[in-house]
Every structure is written in structure tokens, then in C-alpha cells.
């Protein structure tokens, strides 16, 4: 175990920084990096090689901690997949049975101790025997709702007889759970189910089902109790799953279940979102193993639901106009079809009959033109006649299309005016910006209000009177957990020596650029501006550019006040033509020199324009762009200009600030030997986009020992594939034979070129992984890191620390006393730097919650960090303080951020790359960085992204 290196105590009064060790002034005290770096940034660096010799060339730059020798990593690399580390193997790694996640090395001690409350409620472990039974329903039913209705009828009929008074819990699919055994090992039941929704008064349809219940296994609660006590490393997922299902059973009957959440219009009055949607409030619920024992995690939730309106009203809201008097345009019809496809409707034209159907499409013809065969002789009848003769229903809006329900072979037509949307359907398609804003307003609650809502939910659910919880012997405390926490100190930040303030100690997660200059301010001599906004006159645009240039200069950059060519006015519908015109005009005027920066003024509502600009400039022209909205151009705010100048500087290859401890080589397990910090993320397409690929992004630090500047790479991969496929890969080249590549390898080489050192330690922050994918992701991606390293030099295996970053969880931390101003920030949230690694964390594994940011509005969500693999032997304090300190180095603002920056940057890069896919790229596109596009499609089935230009790759283009 590596002890935490002692660092001098930081003064808490903010009057001065801690004592600094000698610095290399040549590196840090300058307005821009050495000229050789600037040349490399402009694309004049050496040719990237696929050979290991380039990577292993003797170092040309010593560590800035001159007093410390560079020691090779002594931790022996472990090949978790059992595959030889020669880079030649491929395919999915072997079984994960022998793999254990990093155990907790102890608890953190740094920081000011305090008490926080968490939305976790202690659950007593039941003392009853839990049994699992397999359920088979014949004929097979796909709907969980119908399955549950069948099982409810079975329990109602046979609880006292065949079920031995047991009240089972059912997952709606194949599994039934009981507390104690049923009187049989195998039994078949016949259940008749009446469709209650079919007819209000009168004969109802009846269906018959066979239900076979068969004993499967007994859950091991002793195993679970040992796991919770920390005596076993592996958690019994089956036992936890049973308890989770038991505690959800009553809520499923009361509310509308969506994933692990429950919604109802009765919890709080639904709020309109526009376009026929409304926001329902609800709560999230999950049973979790923690150090304090079993814990029930309860949080508030909200989601968009389709309003239970007559379809005609829904369509009028969706289109923003009355549709009863005029035909629909093609675009209107497409919009309606997208909104209603998959939505369940009930008919209103048949009196007491409430038959329900799912919409599959919309007819291309108006109702008055629709005919269909009514018998085997293909006798045709119009829809209008049929409804009049069969139901006595006169269709008034015959100019509108009909809804299509059922499958394509046997589609039924339903007039819009004869249908109503069934209540309780969640809207899963993309929300508009306006709808997202409205939904956030519903979701956004101050910490005290959210805490009260959670406590009210627990009281209302009254788990101790829940018949299922009673049956299984589960008791839930109504008191939320009080947890010991620590508030980690903010790190000192270093700015340029020529500014009035050379260093800075952030206060409550915030600071500003007043009296400070960027530590490495870049030079922008050659820039241009293109204006796509009609409302911005040339004089206004010119004034804005002048103000921005001045702010860049004040902040520490060298920025030429005059553009290369006059500001160019352009139309948004001619974006590619306009960008290429400006680019070629500048290149001609510069006689071959590159344009360094393109400022772009956009309309506030610009549709796909922003994405088109980024795609064309970053994959075709090789231009770095900075986009500004019209509203900011008119209202020139100093704060806005300062933030834009920060973004421009890092896009140019500069650095705004660095950690003072990094310059002084005082960061444990980072400063001692060359260390590269990776961030990785995969973003998936939205629901409904079934063919779109997922996008993976990896970024890596390029400026050890400062770890502030990152380079990024992106790639497309199979739809909803979470494992990053391009971390390491090999392919056959006719001239060179087997060639190695991939994002890890490329970024290791890039680090070597930028620093003159090869990384001797790897820290890998991986975003966006759910708990169920931990083993898979660790096995596959750690193996890829191993192979990428081995492909550069035999036996090159720097020790790896692999950390998963999670934001999509439901743990919330609240101040112990909301009235104590010293324990909260201005928004009423806990203080930035608050870390928790006890009580509500994993019983044995190395995880912690860190709220690294100050709240703005609503309740802060702490990030959850789970160290899955640690060959660097970090202590709890070591990884917690490193993570917290890095959150103060985010380049785009003067605030600490909620997620560690490398993971944040990877997310931004992956999000940016989705813009590159927008147009339908031809087969012979330039394709991937390593192989032809058409070949990559044949091998992976995924069309690769167009390659980033080299000068774009090397900088933080996604900022």
C-alpha cells in the first residue's frame, strides 16, 4: 500500500498559497508553450509512426521534479483475460470468474468532518426462507401487465387452498418468489381472465390460460448477510433481486411502473409540457447492499407522459393549429406519424366497448379515399360507409388520414375522431428544447424540498404495512441515514506570473479571471468571422469581435484585433458553400498559411446549423471554430466573453490554469513518474433510433506533470454497444503486414511526443457504465489497454487504475441542518468537496461519492466513483483528493465541475462526434483513421466516422 505523500498544509484564509518547491521557469513562466509545440499544434510535427521505435526513443525532457529520480513502475502487470500480451490476440476475453474488483484500502481521513443525510433507509434482512419458482404461461404472453393480471387471478382463487396461504411476489415474466415453500414442487393451473376494459356494461371477452409453476431454487440469505458484513466479496444478486421485486409489488399495483420508478397523476398534479405531453411526478426505488446493511434508496422522479386526450386534440396541440377544416401537409402527416407510432389508443365510437389498439402508422390517403375488402370475394367498401353501416358513426373529418393499427398484413383503419389516447403512457421519443426546459422546472427542487418529498413518499408508501413486505419479513426504517462525510479542501490554482494574482484558492467551488492571466496563453494572428444571423448587422458583429479580441488579450492571449478578411455575411441554408468560401479566401490571402480560428455567429434557433459547421470544419477543412449565439452578440457580457476566451485558448492548444501541486510535483501517484490520465465514454442513440451507431470517445492528458491539457479521439461502433471496440485493434496491410492501432495506442504515442516521456502509470476514468456491466467492461477494456501498451514495446505494461464514474444514480446527500449557513452553499446544497466513503457505500469494494461542485439550482447529484482495478495502490485519500482536485481544472469555466474533467471531456467529444454522422455519408468516404470506410463497414457493419483532421485531433476541439 503506498502511503499518501505528505503535502504542506494549505492556509484556509485564502491569503497566500502553500510554500512552493522550485519550479522550472522555462516551462511555466511564459505566455505560450515553446515554439516547437506551437509548430506541432499547427500540423508541422513529425510523421506519426506505427512502429514502437518512435514511442521508445530516449527521453528529451526530464521530469520537472528534478529532485526526484524517475522510477519505473514496479507493479507487475496482470493480464486479467489470460491472453498473452503480445498484441496479436483478438476477440472477447475469457470468463470473469477469477476476477475480483479492487478491495477498499481503508477510509479517507483528509478534510473537515461533518454529518450529511442520505436518501437511504435501513432495511432489516428477513429471517424467512426465500424460494424461487419458474412460471410458464400458455399461450405465451408478452405483456407484463397481462401476466400480472393472470397471476393476481391465480392468487385470488388458490391462495387459501393450493398455495398454502402464501402471498407470492411475481416479476411479470418467468419468476415467482415466496417466503417459505409452496405445498408442491410442480403444479398446473387453469386461469380464465376477463377483459375488464373491453365493455363497460354487457358481455365481456374471456381468455383461458394454463399456468405451470415449478420449484427452482432457494435463495441464500446467509450468503447475503455475510456479504453485508464484509466477510464475502461476492454479492448474491438473486437474493437482492427477490427483495427488490417484493418491495416493488404493491407499487406496481398502485402506480405506473417505468424501469425502477413509479409514476402517477395522483402523486402531484401533472404539468403541461406542450405538444400534447405532460409531466408526471413519481419516485425511484431500489434495494442496495451497503456498509450499514440493506438499504432502500428512494428518490423523486419525473417523466414526460402523453396526455390522455382525444386524438384530434392531441394532433391540434402537436401541430399548433386546428386540423378539422383543412387537409394536412406532408410534413404535418410525418410529424403526426412519428408522434403516434407505438401509442395505445382506445375507440370511442362503440358506446360501451372500449377496445384498445396500438398505432402502427398513418394512411397516406385521406379517409374519404380509403377502401378495403370486406369478404373473401374482395368486395370493396369505403371506410366512411363501413363505420356508418356497422356502428352508425358518421365520420366528419374525411379529409384527414386514418390511424393504422395492427400489423402490415392485417392493418385496420381507425378515424382520428373515433380514438382517444390511453392514460399512463410514457413518452420515449426526443423532447424539444422547450419541453426539456419545462420538464426540468418540474424536476428541479431545492434540497430541503426534495428531502421533504422523499420523506413524505416513504411515509405514504408505509412499507411496514405493505402486505408483501410483511409476508417476506422485510422492515423499512422511516428515518433516512445519517452519514459521516468530509469536506475536502479546494486546491490552489496557478496562473501566469505577469497577472496581478499569480495563484488562486477557490471559494465554495468558484473563482473568476479578474486580475489573472492564463498560464499558457496562445497566440491567434490569423482569424476570420462568418455571420449566419440575419439580425446581426456587420457593425454589431465587428464590435463584438473587437470586444472578444480585447478580452482574450486581457486574459493572457496574443490576439490580433483585425480579421484576415472582412466579416462575411452568409445564409444558413448555404453553410458548406459559405465556410469553404471563407476558408479559401483566407488561404489565398495568407499565401498557404493556415487560418487559426474561425468565429461563427449563429441565430439563437439554428437547427442543424451548429452540427453542420462542426462537421465540415473539423473533418473536412481542418478549422478550429468558436460559435456564438446572437443573444450574446447583442448583450455583450464580460463574464460571457471571459468564458469564451477560456474556450478559445484551450482550442488553440493553450492551458488556462494548472494545479499548483502539479507544478510543484506534489500530487501523490501522479507527480513521481510520468502518468497519463484517460477519460472514456460511450454515448448511445436516443430511443427510437434503432439503426444509429453508438459513439465512443477517449481523451488523454498530454502535459504531465500538469495533467490539464487533453487530446481526444472518437469512433462509431455497433448500436448500443457499451464496450469500446476501438481501444486497440490490429489489421493486415499488404505492404507492412499486421499493423497495430486504436485509440489507446494513438494517445500513448501522442503523450510521448508531447512530453518526451513514455507513460509509466495509467489512470483510466470510465464514464457511463452501469453496475451490471462492470465485469464485462473491465475485462474487455483493461485487456485492450494491455495489448496497446505491449504493441509499443515488449514487456511495456505500466500499472493501471481503472475507475468507473457514475452520474445516473439516485443517491442524494443533504445538509444535516439546512439552517446552518456554514454547511451549505448559496443554493442550499452541501459544500463542494464533500466526500462519503462509509455507511451508504459498498460493503467491501473501493467506491465513494464525491460532490465536487457548488449547486446552482435544484439538488446537487454527487458523482459516484468505483475503483474496479488498482495496480497503483492508491489510498482512499489519494484517489479522492486527486479526483476532487482535477474537478477544478475544467477548461471551460471558473467553477469546479461535478464530474472529473477527463470523463467530462470524453462525454463532450462523443456528443460532438454525433454531428459528424448527420448527413448520409457515401460509401467511399475518407472513413476511419486507419482503414478505408467500405472495408470497415464490411468487417463491423458500422459506417465509420469521417476522420478528424490532424490539427483538430491534437487540441481540445470539443470544448
| 444 occurs within a structural domain | no
Q: What is the pLDDT of residues 730-740, one digit of tens each?
A: 999 999 999 99
More confident residue, 932 or 478: 478
Gap between the Cα atoms of 836 and 847, Å rounded: 9
Boundary (domain end) residue, out of 203, 219, 235: 219
Q: What is the pLDDT of residues 377-421, one digit of tens each?
A: 778 999 999 999 999 999 999 999 999 987 655 568 999 999 999
Band of residue 159 on the pLDDT scale cut at 50, 70, 90 = very high
As a whole number, mean pLDDT of residues 48-67 equals: 40
| 92 occurs within a structural domain | no
Gap between the Cα atoms of 696 and 680, Å rounded: 7
Q: Which pairing describes strands 800-806 and 863-870: parallel, antiparallel, or unpaired?
A: antiparallel
| 575 occurs within a structural domain | yes
Residue-wise DSSP of 639-686: HHHHHHHHHHHHHTT-BS-EEHHHHTT-STTTSSS-EEEEEEEEE-PP
Gap between the Cα atoms of 176 and 134, Å rounded: 6
Gap between the Cα atoms of 730 and 732, Å rounded: 7
Beta bridge partners of 113: 486
Beta bridge partners of 480: 121
Find out whether the peptide bond into 508 is cis, omega within 30 degrees of 0: no
Listed in sequence order, the residues at least 6 apart from 255 whose beta carbon sits closer than 8 Å to its beta carbon are 262, 263, 264, 267, 282
Listed in sequence order, the residues at least 6 apart from 640 whose beta carbon sits closer than 8 Å to its beta carbon are 632
Q: Are 910 and 682 in contact (CB under 8 A)?
A: yes
Band of residue 169 on the pLDDT scale cut at 50, 70, 90 = very high
The set of cell numbers assigned to 522 is: 496562445
Q: What are phi and psi of 675, to 5 degrees?
A: -125, 130
Task: Judge if 581 and 674 occupy the same domain.
Answer: no
Task: Judge if 569 and 713 occupy the same domain.
Answer: no
Band of residue 941 on the pLDDT scale cut at 50, 70, 90 = confident
Gap between the Cα atoms of 302 and 283, Å rounded: 8
The set of cell numbers assigned to 98 is: 477469477
Gap between the Cα atoms of 418 and 413, Å rounded: 11
Boundary (domain end) residue, out of 653, 674, 696: 653
Task: Judge if 331 and 395 occupy the same domain.
Answer: yes
As a whole number, mean pLDDT of residues 653-658 equals: 96
Gap between the Cα atoms of 199 and 202, Å rounded: 6
Q: What average pLDDT does the structure give for the chain?
A: 87
Predicted pLDDT of residue 486 = 98
* pLDDT > 60? residue 71: no
Q: What is the CATH number of the domain that holds 728?
A: 3.30.420.10
Q: With H, G, I as helix, E, B as strand and everything else as coil, classify residue 313.
A: helix
Domain count, the chain: 4
Gap between the Cα atoms of 804 and 847, Å rounded: 9
Task: Judge if 745 and 695 occupy the same domain.
Answer: yes
Gap between the Cα atoms of 171 and 135, Å rounded: 10
Q: What's the alpha-carbon Rg for the chain, to the nearest Å?
A: 31
Predicted pLDDT of residue 429 = 87
Predicted pLDDT of residue 377 = 79
Predicted pLDDT of residue 24 = 40
Task: Judge if 638 and 662 occupy the same domain.
Answer: no
* pLDDT > 50? residue 718: yes
Task: Judge if 648 and 733 occupy the same domain.
Answer: no
* pLDDT > 60? residue 246: yes
Predicted pLDDT of residue 411 = 64
* pLDDT > 80? residue 76: no
Q: How many CB atoms lie within 10 A of CB 772?
A: 9
Band of residue 87 on the pLDDT scale cut at 50, 70, 90 = very low
| 205 occurs within a structural domain | yes
* pLDDT > 60? residue 31: no
Band of residue 954 on the pLDDT scale cut at 50, 70, 90 = confident
The set of cell numbers assigned to 839 is: 455507511
Task: Judge if 709 and 758 occupy the same domain.
Answer: yes
* pLDDT > 70? residue 260: yes
Gap between the Cα atoms of 336 and 421, Å rounded: 13
Task: Judge if 318 and 338 occupy the same domain.
Answer: yes
As a whole number, mean pLDDT of residues 335-353 equals: 90
Q: What is the pLDDT of residues 822-872, one digit of tens each?
A: 999 999 999 999 999 999 999 999 999 999 999 988 999 999 999 999 999
Q: How many CB atoms lie within 10 A of CB 567?
A: 20
As a whole number, mean pLDDT of residues 449-459 equals: 96
* pLDDT > 90? residue 465: yes
Q: Are 767 and 681 in contact (CB under 8 A)?
A: yes
**3-state helix/strand/coil string of 18-75:** CCCCCCCHHHHCCCCCCHHHHHHHHHHCCCCCCCHHHHCCCCCCCCCCCCCCCCCCCC
Gap between the Cα atoms of 47 and 495, Å rounded: 33
**Angle of CA points 874, 880, 884, to nearest 5°:** 135
Q: Residue 419 CA to chain centroid, in angstroms?
A: 37
Task: Check residue 284 and report its DSSP letter.
Answer: E
Q: Which of 190-199, 543-552, 787-796 has the least mean pLDDT? A: 190-199
Q: Cell numbers 518512435 correspond to what residue?
A: 54
Beta bridge partners of 625: 598
Q: How many CB atoms lie within 10 A of CB 665?
A: 21
Task: Judge if 665 and 790 occupy the same domain.
Answer: yes
| 417 occurs within a structural domain | yes
| 289 occurs within a structural domain | no
Helix (H) or strand (E) holding 626: strand 625-629
The set of cell numbers assigned to 476 is: 423499512
**3-state helix/strand/coil string of 71-115:** CCCCCCCCCCCCCCCCCCCCCCCCCCCCCCCCECCCCCCCCEEEE
Band of residue 220 on the pLDDT scale cut at 50, 70, 90 = confident
Predicted pLDDT of residue 570 = 96
Gap between the Cα atoms of 364 and 369, Å rounded: 10
Q: With H, G, I as helix, E, B as strand and everything else as coil, classify residue 510.
A: strand
| 259 occurs within a structural domain | no
Band of residue 235 on the pLDDT scale cut at 50, 70, 90 = confident
Q: Which pairing describes strands 800-806 and 761-767: parallel, antiparallel, or unpaired?
A: parallel
Strand order across the 356-366 sheet = 412-415, 401-405, 356-366, 344-347, 419-421
Gap between the Cα atoms of 586 and 562, Å rounded: 13
* pLDDT > 70? residue 631: yes
Band of residue 688 on the pLDDT scale cut at 50, 70, 90 = low
Domain region containing 641: 521-653
Predicted pLDDT of residue 374 = 80
In 3D, which of 27, 50, 48 has the Cα closest to residue 37? Answer: 27
Task: Check residue 771 and report its DSSP letter.
Answer: G
**In the chain, what percentage of residues exceed pLDDT 90?**
76
Find out whether the peptide bond into 705 is cis, omega within 30 degrees of 0: yes
Q: What is the CATH number of the domain that holds 331?
A: 2.170.260.10
Q: Cell numbers 376477463 correspond to what residue?
A: 194
Band of residue 607 on the pLDDT scale cut at 50, 70, 90 = confident
Gap between the Cα atoms of 704 and 755, Å rounded: 7
Q: Are 586 and 565 in contact (CB under 8 A)?
A: yes
As a whole number, mean pLDDT of residues 687-704 equals: 88
Task: Judge if 673 and 646 occupy the same domain.
Answer: no
> pTM of the predicted model, to two decimals?
0.87
Task: Judge if 699 and 773 occupy the same domain.
Answer: yes
Q: What are phi and psi of 882, to 5 degrees?
A: -60, -50
Q: Which of 462-471, 688-697, 699-708, 767-776 has the least mean pLDDT? A: 688-697
Q: What is the CATH number of the domain that holds 611?
A: 3.40.50.2300
Q: Which of 75-84, 656-665, 865-874 has the least mean pLDDT? A: 75-84
* pLDDT > 70? residue 86: no
Q: How many CB atoms lie within 10 A of CB 562?
A: 11
Predicted pLDDT of residue 918 = 57
In 3D, which of 853, 903, 875 has the Cα closest to residue 677? Answer: 903
More confident residue, 48 or 171: 171
**Angle of CA points 451, 454, 455, to nearest 5°:** 90
Gap between the Cα atoms of 440 and 453, Å rounded: 16
Band of residue 233 on the pLDDT scale cut at 50, 70, 90 = confident
Task: Judge if 625 and 768 occupy the same domain.
Answer: no
Boundary (domain end) residue, out of 219, 238, 269: 219
C-alpha to C-alpha distances, 700 to 597, 863, 878, nearest whole angstrom:
23, 20, 20
* pLDDT > 80? residue 905: yes
Task: Check residue 127 and report its DSSP letter.
Answer: -
Q: Helix crossing, 609-616 with 575-590: angle to 10°?
A: 40
Gap between the Cα atoms of 240 and 917, Å rounded: 41
C-alpha to C-alpha distances, 613 to 249, 755, 906, nearest whole angstrom:
51, 32, 20
Q: Are 175 and 250 in contact (CB under 8 A)?
A: no
| 619 occurs within a structural domain | yes
Task: Check residue 786 and report its DSSP letter.
Answer: H
More confident residue, 228 or 928: 228
Q: How many CB atoms lie within 10 A of CB 425?
A: 16
Q: What are phi and psi of 904, to 5 degrees?
A: -65, -45
Helix (H) or strand (E) holding 285: strand 277-290
* pLDDT > 90? residue 638: yes
Q: What are phi and psi of 866, to 5 degrees?
A: -125, 110
Task: Mark 12-24 as b/e (b = at least 16 C-beta within 10 Å).
Answer: eeeeebbeeeebe
C-alpha to C-alpha distances, 712 to 519, 744, 856, 894, 928, nearest whole angstrom:
22, 10, 29, 22, 15
More confident residue, 151 or 87: 151
* Phi-psi domain of 275 (left: phi exceeds 0; alpha: psi -120 through 50; beta: other): left
**Angle of CA points 572, 573, 579, to nearest 5°:** 65
Amino acid at each position: 500500500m503506498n502511503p499518501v505523500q505528505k503535502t504542506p498544509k494549505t492556509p484556509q484564509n485564502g491569503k497566500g498559497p502553500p510554500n512552493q518547491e522550485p519550479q522550472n521557469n522555462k516551462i511555466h513562466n511564459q505566455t505560450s508553450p515553446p515554439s516547437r509545440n506551437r509548430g506541432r499544434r499547427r500540423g508541422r510535427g513529425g510523421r506519426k509512426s506505427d512502429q514502437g521505435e518512435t514511442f521508445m526513443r530516449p527521453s528529451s525532457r526530464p521530469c520537472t521534479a528534478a529532485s526526484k529520480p524517475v522510477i519505473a513502475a514496479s507493479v507487475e502487470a496482470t493480464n486479467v483475460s489470460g491472453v498473452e500480451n503480445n498484441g496479436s490476440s483478438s476477440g472477447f476475453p475469457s470468463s470473469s470468474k477469477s476476477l475480483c474488483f479492487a478491495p477498499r484500502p481503508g477510509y479517507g481521513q483528509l478534510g473537515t468532518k461533518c454529518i450529511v443525510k442520505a436518501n437511504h433507509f435501513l432495511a432489516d434482512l428477513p429471517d424467512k426462507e426465500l424460494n424461487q419458482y419458474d412460471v410458464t404461461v400458455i399461450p405465451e404472453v408478452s405483456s407484463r401487465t397481462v401476466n400480472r393480471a393472470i397471476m393476481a387471478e391465480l392468487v385470488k382463487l388458490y391462495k387459501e387452498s393450493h398455495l398454502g396461504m402464501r402471498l407470492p411476489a411475481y416479476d411479470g415474466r418467468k419468476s415467482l418468489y415466496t417466503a417459505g415453500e409452496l405445498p408442491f414442487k410442480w403444479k398446473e393451473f387453469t386461469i380464465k381472465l376477463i377483459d375488464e376494459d373491453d365493455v363497460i356494461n354487457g358481455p365481456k371477452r374471456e381468455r383461458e390460460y394454463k399456468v405451470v409453476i415449478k420449484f427452482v431454487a432457494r435463495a441464500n440469505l446467509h450468503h447475503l448477510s455475510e456479504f453485508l458484513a464484509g466477510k464475502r466479496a461476492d454479492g448474491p444478486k438473486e437474493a437482492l433481486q427477490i427483495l427488490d421485486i417484493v418491495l416493488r409489488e404493491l407499487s406496481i399495483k398502485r402506480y405506473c411502473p417505468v424501469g425502477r420508478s413509479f409514476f402517477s397523476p395522483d402523486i402531484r398534479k401533472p404539468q403541461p409540457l406542450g405538444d400534447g405531453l405532460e409531466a408526471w411526478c413519481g419516485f425511484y426505488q431500489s434495494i442496495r447492499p451497503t456498509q450499514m446493511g440493506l438499504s432502500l434508496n428512494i428518490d423523486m422522479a419525473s417523466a414526460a407522459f402523453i396526455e390522455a386526450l382525444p386524438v384530434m386534440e392531441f394532433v391540434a396541440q402537436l401541430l399548433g393549429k386546428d386540423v378539422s377544416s383543412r387537409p394536412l401537409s406532408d410534413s404535418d402527416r410525418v410529424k403526426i406519424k412519428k408522434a403516434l407510432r407505438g401509442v395505445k389508443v382506445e375507440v370511442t365510437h362503440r358506446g360501451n366497448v372500449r377496445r384498445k389498439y396500438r398505432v402502427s402508422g398513418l394512411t397516406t390517403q385521406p379517409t374519404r379515399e380509403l377502401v378495403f375488402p370486406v369478404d373473401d370475394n374482395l368486395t370493396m367498401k369505403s371506410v366512411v360507409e363501413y363505420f356508418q353501416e356497422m356502428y352508425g358513426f358518421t365520420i366528419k373529418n374525411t379529409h384527414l388520414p386514418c390511424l393504422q393499427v395492427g400489423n402490415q398484413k392485417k392493418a385496420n383503419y381507425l378515424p382520428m375522431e373515433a380514438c382517444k389516447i390511453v392514460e399512463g403512457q410514457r413518452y420515449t421519443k426526443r423532447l424539444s428544447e422547450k419541453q426539456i426546459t419545462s420538464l426540468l422546472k418540474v424536476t428541479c427542487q431545492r434540497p430541503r424540498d426534495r428531502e421533504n418529498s422523499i420523506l413524505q413518499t416513504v411515509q405514504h408508501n408505509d412499507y411496514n404495512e405493505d402486505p408483501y413486505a410483511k409476508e417476506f419479513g422485510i422492515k423499512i426504517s422511516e428515518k433516512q441515514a445519517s452519514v459521516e462525510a468530509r469536506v475536502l479542501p479546494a486546491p490552489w490554482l496557478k496562473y501566469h506570473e505577469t497577472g496581478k494574482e499569480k495563484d488562486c484558492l477557490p471559494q465554495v467551488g468558484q473563482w473568476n479571471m479578474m486580475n489573472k492571466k492564463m498560464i499558457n496563453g496562445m497566440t491567434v494572428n490569423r482569424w476570420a468571422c462568418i455571420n449566419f444571423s440575419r439580425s446581426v448587422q456587420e457593425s454589431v458583429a465587428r464590435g463584438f469581435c473587437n470586444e472578444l479580441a480585447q478580452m482574450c488579450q486581457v486574459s493572457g492571449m496574443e490576439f490580433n484585433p483585425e480579421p484576415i478578411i472582412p466579416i462575411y455575411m452568409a445564409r444558413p441554408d448555404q453553410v458548406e458553400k459559405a465556410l469553404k468560401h471563407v476558408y479559401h479566401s483566407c488561404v489565398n490571402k495568407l499565401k498557404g498559411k493556415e487560418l487559426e480560428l474561425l468565429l461563427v455567429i449563429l441565430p439563437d434557433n439554428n437547427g442543424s446549423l451548429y452540427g453542420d459547421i462542426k462537421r465540415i470544419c473539423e473533418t473536412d477543412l481542418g478549422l478550429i471554430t468558436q460559435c456564438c449565439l446572437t443573444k450574446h452578440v447583442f448583450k455583450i457580457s464580460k463574464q460571457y466573453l471571459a468564458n469564451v476566451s477560456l474556450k478559445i485558448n484551450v482550442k488553440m492548444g493553450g492551458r488556462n490554469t494548472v494545479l499548483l501541486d502539479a507544478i510543484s510535483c506534489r500530487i501523490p501517484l501522479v507527480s513521481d513518474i510520468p502518468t497519463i490520465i484517460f477519460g472514456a465514454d460511450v454515448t448511445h442513440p436516443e430511443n427510437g433510433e434503432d439503426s444509429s451507431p453508438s459513439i465512443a470517445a477517449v481523451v488523454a492528458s498530454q502535459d504531465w506533470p500538469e495533467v490539464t491539457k487533453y487530446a481526444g479521439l472518437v469512433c462509431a461502433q455497433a448500436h448500443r454497444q457499451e464496450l469500446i471496440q476501438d481501444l486497440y485493434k490490429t489489421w493486415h496491410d499488404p505492404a507492412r503486414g499486421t499493423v497495430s492501432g486504436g485509440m489507446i495506442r494513438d494517445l500513448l504515442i501522442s503523450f510521448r511526443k508531447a512530453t518526451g516521456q513514455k507513460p509509466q502509470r495509467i489512470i483510466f476514468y470510465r464514464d457511463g457504465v452501469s453496475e451490471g456491466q462492470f465485469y464485462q467492461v473491465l475485462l474487455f477494456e483493461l485487456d485492450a489497454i494491455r495489448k496497446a501498451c505491449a504493441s509499443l514495446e515488449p514487456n511495456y505494461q505500466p500499472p493501471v487504475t481503472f475507475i468507473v464514474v457514475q452520474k445516473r444514480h439516485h443517491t442524494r446527500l443533504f445538509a444535516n441542518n439546512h439552517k446552518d449557513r456554514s454547511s451549505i452553499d448559496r443554493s442550499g446544497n452541501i459544500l463542494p468537496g464533500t466526500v462519503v466513503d462509509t455507511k451508504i457505500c459498498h460493503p467491501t469494494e473501493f467506491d465513494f461519492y464525491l460532490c465536487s461542485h457548488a449547486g446552482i439550482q435544484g439538488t446537487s447529484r454527487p458523482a459516484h466513483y468505483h475503483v474496479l482495478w488498482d495496480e497503483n495502490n492508491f489510498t482512499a485519500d489519494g484517489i479522492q483528493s486527486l479526483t476532487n482536485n482535477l474537478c477544478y481544472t475544467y477548461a471551460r469555466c471558473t467553477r469546479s465541475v461535478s464530474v472529473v474533467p477527463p470523463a467530462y471531456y470524453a462525454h463532450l467529444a462523443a456528443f460532438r462526434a454525433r454531428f459528424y454522422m448527420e448527413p448520409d455519408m457515401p460509401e467511399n468516404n475518407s472513413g476511419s483513421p486507419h482503414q478505408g470506410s467500405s472495408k470497415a463497414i464490411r468487417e463491423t457493419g458500422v459506417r465509420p466516422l469521417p476522420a478528424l483532421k490532424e490539427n483538430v485531433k491534437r487540441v481540445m476541439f470539443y470544448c
